[in-house]
Structure 1
Amino acid sequence: MRTLTACAAAGALAWLVTAGAQAGTPAGKGAAPVEAAADEAPGYAVEDFDYPQADKILAEEGITLKRGDGHIVLADCGSQSGLLEIYSRSTDKVCFRVTGTSGRLTLEIPAVFGVKGNDYATEVDMTTGDEQKSFDVDPNTFTAVGESADDEGRDFMLVEISSSK
């Protein structure tokens, strides 16, 4: 009989709490109304592949970093060996660290004339006017690209780097 009374009291208490929460009344002094967890779904994380802090880098370095897969990242040229080095008349030298088995980065660096490769097979895509050209970069060697590889000596803008092992 004691067990039956305890169960009935617990059931009545549960009913009061549920009925009060459904009506929006607090279950106790200072308590907030109970809300269903399903009413507030978590937001979605969507990767847009835009380069982080691109505006700051443009202001400080004068280069536009657009989008990539995260495997080619801007690096301090003196920070380590094995960096991909981009030579430009507008920015002097800009370095990138390549990680993983492959990487891709779209960017804008004007007046590029050479690239020193690293251990990766690298291709750079460049534009001049309406024309687009691709150059294969020799591993661990300086490769003439853009204006230094052009018969007319035209300015070329580096627009994409692709690397793979």
Structure 2
Amino acid sequence: MAACIAAATVAAVAWSASSAPAEANPPAPATVAADAPGYAVEDFDYPGADRVLQEKGIVLKRGDGHIVLAQCGSENGLMDIWARYRNGDHICFRVTGDSGYLSLEIPAVYGITGAAGQSADVTMTVDDETTHYNVPAGSMTAVGENADPDGRDHTLVEISTHK
């Protein structure tokens, strides 16, 4: 009989604990998303642009990743940009894919050699004017001051390439 009373007491205590009212301020459940990394969103900003500005004095803004800064002479077929803004700087880009896009600012550009296998359309500005040039694949093209009757310094602001 004592065993029955003990069993009934344990059952009553267990029942009362399970039916007790909930806490007034239960802890907030942890969400999995708060601990997970955020989504990667492509903004098309040029990676390392601040470093390039400091080292080379050119502004690389946005692109699709198919026109990237390269070490001149490191391989054949690069696009060469010739400029007078820093003692005749020569800037090179590797062009990949069927098409590419890059917005940038390189002052005093006077010549561009198109990448092997890729034609380019470039946009340059001087004063409040915008000028477009077609640069054939693998050919040197006079642009900017070399193509301007007044010899004004032009800034290269956009490159679009295509096969």
Q: TM-score, normalised by structure 2?
A: 0.77
Deviation at 1:115, TM superposition (A): 0.3
Mapping of 1:76-87 within 5 angstroms? 76-87=71-82
Q: Say which of 39, 46, 50 aligns to 1:51.
A: 46
CA-based RMSD:
2.4
User: Is there any run of 5+ residues in structure 2 with no aligned partner, and where?
Assistant: 1-17
User: Is there any run of 5+ residues in structure 1 with no aligned partner, and where?
Assistant: 1-15, 25-32
CA distance in 1, matches of 2:33, 2:123: 49
1:60 matches 2:63? no
Match of 1:152 in 2: 150
CA distance in 2, matches of 1:62, 1:43: 33
The higher radius of gyration belongs to: 2
Q: TM-score, normalised by structure 1?
A: 0.77
Aligned to 2:55, the other structure's residue is in SS state helix
Q: Say which of 101, 104, 107 aligns to 2:101.
A: 104
Match of 1:7 in 2: none
Mapping of 1:21-40 within 5 angstroms? 35-37=30-32
State how many pairs are aligned: 140
CA distance in 2, matches of 1:88, 1:40: 49
Question: Displaced runs of 4+ in structure 1, greater than 4 A?
Answer: 38-42
1:75 matches 2:73? no
Match of 2:112 in 1: 115
How high is the sequence identity, in percent, across the aligned residues? 57
Please tell me the residue identity of whatever aligns with 2:85.
S
Please tell me the residue identity of whatever aligns with 1:62.
G
Compared CA separation, residues 135 and 36, structure 1 to 2 (3 A): closer
